[in-house]
Amino acid sequence: MSNRWRQNIQARPPIFAHSNKVGAIDLNRLQANFAITVAQPKRTGRLTLLGRSAAKLPASPAEARLETFPNPARRNYWIHFETDDFTSVCPVTGQPDFARIDIDYVPDRLCVESKSLKFYLASYRNERAFNEAVTNRILDDFVKACVPREAIVTAQFSARGGIALTVRAEYLGKKANRGDR
């Protein structure tokens, strides 16, 4: 050990004191002597739903808001959301349309917060729209919220009249989608 290091240790009073029953640690002195590093959470932006049990479901997709937070990684990786609890309404008959919704995406700078996605999808419960329109609107709103590198929304609607319908909408990134309307 170096002499300077020994002098620092000898010059300081002990960090803890003993009594007959309890050993007490002076945390302020301990922190002054050691560089204690605690991981600080990154700012999550304006997450208004997470951790709030009093949050109310939006009445329509137009009122809903997909909330985002910074992507914690730089590499390409896929995030998968799925729900079997999706309902919209047929615009012609007024009958409910039930579906399984799968959303797969490669985030760029932002990730979508799952509770806000849950509220967003629930906002369709009274929305009158064709299944194809619903699926494409979900993709459009998702891309608008987080601008992913890639995204796929797959909606598997339950059979009506003996025919099931699956709609798959894809976003392949800014450059690949320039030919779209």
The reply to whether 104 belongs to the active site is no
Find the catalytic residue in 26, 84, 85, 97.
Answer: 97
CA–CA distance, 43 with 155 (Å, rounded to integer): 33
SS3 139: helix
The reply to whether 141 belongs to the active site is no
Closest-CA residue to 129 (of 91, 155, 163): 91
Find the catalytic residue in 26, 90, 102, 104.
Answer: 90
**26, two tokens:** 């002076």
Q: Alpha helix (H) ranges present in the chain?
A: 3-11, 27-33, 114-122, 131-146
DSSP 137: H
Annotated active-site positions, please?
90, 97
